[in-house]
Amino acid sequence: MALIVQKYGGTSVADADRIKDVARRIAATRDEGNQVVVVISAMGDTTDRLIELAYQMAREPSERELDVLLSTGEIVSSTLLAMTLRDMGYAAISLSGAQAGIHTDSAHSRARILEVESKRVIKELETGNIVIVAGFQGVTGEMDVTTLGRGGSDTTAVALAASLGAEVCQKYTDVEGIYTADPRLVPEARLLSDIGYEEMLEMAGYGARVVHLRAVELGELYNIPILVASSFTQKPGTLIHGGASMEVRNKVTGIAHDLDIAKITVVGVPDRPGIAAAIFQPLAKAGINVDTVVQNASIDGVTDLTFTMAKRDLSEAMRVIEPIAKLIKARECISDSRVGKVSVIGTGIQSHPGYAARMFTALSERGVNIQMISTSEIRITCIIEEAGVEDAVRALHRAFELETGE
Ligand code: ADP
Ligand code: ASP
Ligand code: MG
């Protein structure tokens, strides 16, 4: 008898029929003799609708209240699923994040899991229950409800799998697994049979939101294999795991893209020690996650500094940065939210310097202007105009012949 954690996303439980379908899948896993813990997302676009409602009530809804409100989406789906399973004759119980022992810090809307106290879940499993846990939520030491950030149910699932010592965490979603690029954008994208944590971290971190980045981080840390498969079919899906990916010979594994970025350029910055710290320390203090940073070579002791962040952080970043720019006697701050990024990812990149040239050539052939470049050992990222991102993804997919996998 194995212990399996399964996670079902919003599309998979969008209406009553879908919930019944998911219940049948869970029942089949139970019938095979497994203990089953299920983590569930809110139905369909419930979370978006709740956010819209909150913003109809207040210009800046209280973060604490907003977290309680959003957590209800997952409570609804978990209870409906437990009722369905019980009606089918299976012992099942729903638990909120707090009841399931998901303890977090108090950073509302982006809380981090500090500890999973799985006593209650284990007790329910031992009494023979299928345990349905409301995803995306936790509780602080003060018993305040928190949420883990959009897409956070994946992280709940992997955290539970790690704390329970589950064999595998299975994520069932609306695609058949991890593809070489977002299949909604690139119809000829190829399904990967497996992918290493390292590459998946780069894919998820650079825009492939098919698995929550922090779920992959936890998977790697606790060595929990994560299977990503469709909740609509019985196909085998993609296994995210440690060790070398079988696709390694392919050198480039996939293309990720992200439209949710904005950039700020601080123009005419005096080039002297301490300036970067003066700019980035206050941003970090304001909780703004700065991504790519580029500083030009200085001319006559003056330089430009450009960096990117999530679009939602742009106005706050400008609010923080403008007074500092004045203080350090920079000329001006320019913001631009019409940018996006495309990344080429694969463990083969580290040993093949030619891949960067191939990427830049493919982009130039499409008339794309590269504004910034950043790299890791296994990734090359270009910041480009937002309007050109989708075309760039398709062009890169062709340039690296990812549809054939040769
Ligand atoms: P869930 O609600 O089940 O967590 P998500 O919508 O968060 O599902 O993630 C699935 C979506 O991720 C897919 O519908 C797909 O459009 C998108 N996606 C982006 N990049 C990829 C990729 N490389 N492979 C598969 N899906 C991807
Ligand atoms: N319901 C939340 C969201 O839409 C969490 C999740 O689905 O993972 O972001
Ligand atoms: Mg998701």
CB-ligand 1 contact for 182 (6 Å cutoff) = yes
238 lines ligand 1 (CB under 6 A): no
Closest approach atom of ligand 1 to CA 184 = 16
- 172 CA closest ligand 1 atom index: 3
Domains 3-174 and 255-399 share a fold: no
Q: Does the beta carbon of 151 lie inside 6 Å of ligand 1?
A: yes
Question: How many other C-beta atoms can be found within 10 angstroms of the C-beta atom of residue 118?
Answer: 20
Q: Given this structure, which CATH class describes domain 3-174?
A: alpha beta
For atom 5 of ligand 1, the residue with the nearest CA is: 210
For residue 47, the ligand closest to its alpha carbon is 2
Q: Please work out whether the CB of residue 78 comes within 6 Å of at least one atom of ligand 2.
A: no
Q: Is the pTM of this model over 0.75?
A: yes
Task: For the sheet with 137-139, list strands across it.
Answer: 113-116, 102-104, 137-139, 145-147
H helical segments located in 3-58: 16-31, 46-57
Residue spans of the domains in the chain: they are 3-174, 255-399
Q: What is the pLDDT along the chain (406 residues), one digit of tens a residue?
A: 799 999 999 999 999 999 999 999 999 999 999 999 999 999 999 999 999 999 999 999 999 999 999 999 999 999 999 999 999 999 999 999 999 999 999 999 999 999 999 999 999 999 999 999 999 999 999 999 999 999 999 999 999 999 999 989 999 999 999 999 999 999 999 999 999 999 999 999 999 999 999 999 999 999 999 999 999 999 999 999 997 655 555 589 999 999 999 999 999 998 888 888 888 999 999 889 898 888 887 788 899 999 999 999 999 999 999 999 998 889 999 999 999 999 999 988 888 878 999 999 999 999 999 999 999 999 999 999 999 999 999 999 999 999 987 5
CATH topology of domain 255-399: VC0802-like (3.30.2130)
Ligand found nearest the CA of 200: 1
Residue 323, pLDDT score: 93
Strands 35-40 and 3-8: parallel
Strand order in the sheet with 293-295: 293-295, 302-309, 254-270, 332-345, 379-385, 372-376
Q: What pLDDT is stored for residue 246 in this prediction?
A: 53
- The pLDDT, as a whole number, for residue 1 is 79
CA distance 116 to 291: 30
Name the residue type at position 396: L
3-class DSSP string for 208-222: CCCCCHHHHHHHHHH
Measured CA to CA, the distance from residue 392 to residue 406 in angstroms comes to 21
Distance between CA atoms of residues 40 and 132, nearest Å? 7
What are φ and ψ of residue 159, in 5° steps?
-65, -40
